[in-house]
Homo-oligomer: A and B are copies of this chain.
Amino acid sequence: MAESMKGLHRTHRCTEVSNKNIGETVTVMGWVQKSRNKGGIVFTDLRDRSGLLQIIFEEGSISSEVFERAGRLRSEFVIAVTGKVESRSGATNENLVTGDIEIRAKELRVLSEADTPPFPIEEASKTKEELRLKYRYLDLRRPDLQKNLIMRSKVATLTRQFLSEEGFLEIETPMLNKSTPEGARDYLVPSRVHPGNFYALPQSPQIFKQLLMCSGYDRYFQIAKCFRDEDLRADRQPEFTQIDMELSFVEIEDILDVNERLLQKLFKEVLGVEIQTPIQRMTYKEAMDRFGSDKPDLRFGMELKNVSEIVKDTEFAVFKGALENGGSIRGINAAGQADMPRKKIDALVDFAKGYGAKGLAYLAINEDGTYKSSFAKFMTEEELKALVSAMEGKPGDLLFFAADKDKIVYNVLGALRIEIADKLELLKKDDYHFLWVTEFPLLEWSEEEERFTAMHHPFTMPMEEDLHLLSTDPGKVRAKAYDIVLNGTELGGGSLRIYQNDIQEKMFEVLGFTKEDAYERFGFLLNAFKYGVPPHGGLAFGLDRLIMLMAKEDSIRDVIAFPKVKDASCLMTEAPNVVDAKQLDELGIGINNNLNL
């Protein structure tokens, strides 16, 4: 039975009651965490979003009807209780904020009864994620998910507050847009009024925010929903949220500065963590050379070393071949790991192969100075010594080497470095290492399309000192682009934008767009640029990833209220679903027959 709360007024949330209220009569409402009768007293733990509070119903001191009803309380019943705040009669519960008090109930209303939930509502749930997602409305009752969503709300609020104070305007950009097939796959929306035509959901507000700069809004931001119809990974969702911003009349330093202060504020006020500014900076080239990654995890060392020069005269076929093919040999030093069992080393070799390596050479330096190695027999003692010395190898260390084209070597050792650190438990989640990676390549060669594509997007400004290379050696042009990296995760990125028509046209030319192509896709932006455009640039943070790291979670699904799973479906609502034929008729579309539905 569901009673009404008519005439009742909640006076406190559970943990808003404290020993300062002793003697007062309060009314609290929430869910029964658990309830048990112990010798004529019913002890009920009441839960709301603030936490837990103990209620006692004592036989004799309340009406027998109330006591009887209290005896029937079960987990997840929703109740309203009026009673007096008292010091806890039993031992203080140190685990609870309200552990030194209890409410001696006088009145009880059962606002809603509850079936037994399919899994317990508790922290650090052991329940399979699939079941939790199906019953997300119950999963969301768990204190750890509540903590995450409360943190998310706080981060959004602080972000808005900070950016408003810095002169940013929050301006909404449209969701129903034109499809511009450059970059990821668009989600399309059929038009009923214009049958055969489609809107696209935004992959980002990129073009609109640049238009707003052309329109003189000076500083824009938005916490914006974005969409990409790509195959999902653990840190991807079909819809995700960006803290998106754009600034006029600025250079790179201005953008980095305001964002460093934003991060500083968020980490300070939400986590109590001090971020030192300026945040460390590193060029893309240096990041690749030292860490084999454009988003290096700086929580530990184990840097890559290029030993190509050391072994350039070796007869070891693997090394020799790599060098002959224009590649390199690089290594990392897993210090103190010389006694890693062969089985684990083999697992790492397999891991490396997953990243494109043909193999992985290793060399363990025994405590007595001798080597145990997969390739020592192919090299001279002198070569080995030089190699170990270049790697700063000491007795007890374990060295790994990859030999291949640079791209593969970086990829393999960059991933191996993280894998080893993870196995060695070097990746502490409360150890925050920020990094700006700068001077990204402007373009990357697409083997698939046999043309250069924009690494960031086609509006990214090239570095002035590389402008002359646009015609002669486009792959070498660096961009005024930057990523913000936290503990090996790319949190966000941005760039200065091209605001000169001639450079923009050149850029489209390099990308292989005809002028017609370019106007077909981005005509309104190119037209806007004819009427006076300020120098501008911006940045976007992935809010989901930022909260994931702040909440020390491994999946962004744990910081999104209603996430989707790998196949982009929602286990709770069962979206997407089949719709009425009438709806499709109105849109002028049909489902292809060959689908065999």
The complex places the Cα of A561 from the Cα of B215 at a distance, in Å, of 10
Q: A47-B216, A576-B178 are in contact. Are A171 and B153 (CB under 8 A)?
A: yes
| Bound Cα distance from A189 to B592, whole angstroms | 15
Contact A561 B592 (CB under 8 A): no
CA of A591 to CA of B196, assembled, Å? 6
Nearest CB to that of A585 among chain B residues? B592
Q: Contact mask A389-432 → B, CB, 8 Å, 1/0?
A: 00000000000000000000000000000000000000000000
Contact at B191–A568, with CB atoms within 8 Å? yes
Nearest opposing residue in chain B for A27, CB measure: B249
Please tell me if A150 contacts chain B, counting CB pairs below 8 Å: yes
Check A212 for interface membership: any CB of B closer than 8 A. yes
Of the residues B169, B174, B176, B195, contact of A592 by C-beta under 8 Å: B195
Q: Which of B2, B161, B169, B535 is in CB contact (< 8 Å) with A153?
A: B169
Are A589 and B586 within 8 A (Cβ)?
A: no
A177–B573 contact, CB under 8 A? yes
Determine the chain B residues whose CB is within 8 A of the CB of A189 once the complex forms: 187-189, 201, 576
Do residues B197 and A170 form an inter-chain contact, with CB atoms below 8 A? no
Contacts of A561 in B (CB 8 A): 171-174, 208, 212
The answer on a CB contact under 8 Å between B29 and A586 is no
Selecting from A98-106, A133-141, A288-296, A507-515, the interface stretch reads A133-141
A534 touches B29 (CB 8 A): yes
A239 touches B157 (CB 8 A): no
A75–B590 Cα distance when bound, in Å, is 51
Bound complex: CA A171 to CA B155 (Å): 11
- Contact status A579-B225, CB under 8 Å: no
Is A48 engaged at the interface, CB distance under 8 Å to the other chain? yes
Q: Which residue among A32, A176, A241 has the maximum number of chain B CB atoms within 10 Å of its CB?
A: A176
A6 on the B face (CB < 8 A): yes
A50 → chain B closest CB, angstroms: 8
B579 & A188 in contact (Cβ 8 Å cutoff) = yes
Given A560-B172, A575-B178, A217-B146 contact (CB < 8 Å): yes
Contact B193 A78 (CB under 8 A): no
- Number of copies of chain A assembled together: 2
Q: A108 to nearest B CB, angstroms?
A: 15
Q: Mark A496-508, 1 if CB is under 8 A from B, else 0.
A: 0001110000000
Is A279 positioned at the interface, with any CB of B under 8 Å from its CB? no
A201-227, CB under 8 A of B: which get 1 and which 0?
100000010011011111000000101
A532 contacts the other chain (Cβ, under 8 Å)? yes
A113 at the interface (CB under 8 A from B): yes
Q: Of A5, A137, A141, which is in contact with the most chain B CB atoms at under 10 Å from its CB?
A: A137
Cβ-defined contact, A535 with B172, below 8 A? no
Residue of B2, B138, B560 touching A215 (CB-CB under 8 A): B138
Binding-face segment, A263-271, A299-307, A523-531: A523-531
Q: Which residue on chain B has the smallest CB distance to residue A224?
A: B225
Bound: A77/B530 CA distance, A: 10
Alpha-carbon distance A225/B226, docked complex (angstroms): 12
User: Do the beta carbons of A239 and B174 come within 8 Å of each other?
Assistant: yes
Please determine whether A583 and B179 come into contact, CB atoms closer than 8 angstroms: yes
Which residues of B have CB within 8 Å of A249? 5, 10, 29, 80
Our pick among B150, B188, B212 for the contact of A190 (Cβ within 8 Å) is: B188
